[in-house]
Amino acid sequence: MIRRPVVIAGARPNFPKVAPLMRALAGEGVPARLVHTGQHYDAAMSASFFECLDIPEPAANLGVGSGSHATQTAAVMVAIETWLESADADALLVVGDVNSTVACALVAAKAGIPVGHVEAGLRSFDRSMPEEINRVMVDALATWLFTPSADGDENLRAEGVEPERIHLVGNVMVDSLYYALPEARRRSTVADLGLTREGFGLVTLHRPALVDHPDRLADVARTLSEIGKRLPLVFPVHPRTRQMLQRCDIPLDPRRVQIVEPLGYLDFLALEEAAALVLTDSGGVQEETSVLGVPCLTLRDNTERPVTVTRGTNRLVGFDRGTIVSAAHAALARGRRPADIPLWDGQACQRIAQVLTRGAPAPQFVPPALAAHGSEEFRAGRARIPSRPGEE
Ligand code: UD1
Ligand code: UDP
């Protein structure tokens, strides 16, 4: 049973994952301390999420900032090691697959602090992705492996992980989505950008496999301008991508593709939910669009989230212009389709907190209690979840 957990966050996709985790642990009477590594630091990439998602003030910000993989990972390791020396932590919880995740897991494991990995077991089987290396390493080190979907369990078992370390809990990103959706729906983001519901497409791109290759990025920019002839696109641009577009002087037709700064979580969710189509290479966005039922085209050759393709709305389209344009037309013709993914029900973090604080086995299947989402009870973390299949 843990009593003094520390939760780590560092980069944009970590914040929607730690927000419900902090709430759920507090709800079980074990409030966690949050440490922000400072991997992401622009207000639009970090601070804005604390406000939208009611994330408590971090106990520390390690302020590591940007750098090469080794520089950034090492800076996080040195800083978290020093911080942990006087922290008296009895568990360290990391989320996702960014450099902060692996750096903190490695330090804690060597310091004898048990590690919990939230979003364990995901595999793209593509070691050219830095995140894949991070995933494999963190899963090897963690005591508790909290998986979002059954494919994660299978991947871990295939790597020889003991079954008692694996807990299928569902998708924590979806906890935040349901928490924030009612408020996102009240926002005027769509109209403020001169758009209409289901009358536009939303774009996010930031993976090195795409944006760090100028020819590929230029070709995708032309593809977006072409899709924009039929459907206006809005593109909140990640800092990595903005730098490459500027450095390589890659044009995007402003009549067809509206470029904006990275958006706060609620504004982004408002657009994502109202979009007719999403084009992305983000992991989290593949998941969110699946839950929202919004057609999603992923500009990658693989995904570590296959369930979004088999049960959600996601389709892998690579980088080829003809393939992407025809997939966009087909997706628009097909329209929305609600996904049906077990345990992506907004209660994953409650299951994690129960495993950590009571040692209770995570339920293997819980019917989605969709009616509870957005209710005061749900937002306060008080919605009751059945602990056995079929239990009411
Ligand atoms: C990181 C994660 C990636 C995740 C993405 C989410 C790793 C290896 N990669 O990629 O898995 O999908 O975050 O967004 O951890 N920058 C700013 N302001 C910021 C942060 C970054 O301008 O607040 C710029 C810097 O020039 C930096 C570059 O963006 O060098 C890349 O940042 P970095 O954290 O290294 O990687 P991401 O591409 O953001
Ligand atoms: N997101 C956001 N504003 C944006 C783009 C994305 O709030 O302008 C959110 C999105 O809803 C999701 C998360 O950021 O919750 C995904 O992060 P990102 O795409 O940076 O990382 P990945 O999931 O690919 O690791």
pLDDT per residue as tens digits for the range 130-181: 999 999 999 999 999 999 999 999 999 999 999 999 999 999 999 999 999 9
267 lines ligand 1 (CB under 6 A): no
Token pair for 68: 């090469």
CA 246/CA 250 separation, integer angstroms: 7
Instruction: Tell me which residue of 344, 361, 353 sits closest to 149, measured CA to CA.
Output: 344
Query: Among 89-98, 214-223, 338-347, whose mean pLDDT is lowest?
Result: 338-347
pLDDT for res 1: 87
- Helix, strand or coil for residue 354? helix
Mean pLDDT of 316-340: 95
Instruction: Residue 101: name the closest of 180, 36, 182 by CA.
Output: 36
Give 369's contacts (C-beta < 8 A, 6+ positions apart): 345, 346, 347, 383, 385
pTM above 0.75, yes or no: yes
Give the nearest ligand 2 atom to 207 CA: 24
- pLDDT at 385 > cutoff 80: no
**CA 359 / ligand 2 centre spacing (Å):** 32
Condensed to tens digits (0 to 9), the pLDDT of residues 78-119 reads: 999 999 999 999 999 999 999 999 999 999 999 999 999 999
Distance 61 CA to ligand 1 centre (A): 17
Smallest CA-to-CA distance from 172 within 373, 350, 367 is with 350
Task: Determine the atom of ligand 2 nearest the C-alpha atom of 173.
Answer: 15
| High-pLDDT (> 90) share of the chain, % | 90
The ligand that comes nearest to the alpha carbon of residue 70 is 1
Ligand closest to CA 16? 2
- Those residues with Cβ within 8 angstroms of residue 333's Cβ, 6 or more apart along the chain or in another chain: none
Assess whether the C-beta atom of 98 lies below 6 angstroms from ligand 1. Answer: yes
Q: Report, as residue numbers or ranges, the catalytic residues.
A: 206
User: What number of CA atoms fall less than 13 Å from residue 246's CA on the CB side?
Assistant: 8
pLDDT category of residue 380 using cuts at 50, 70 and 90: low
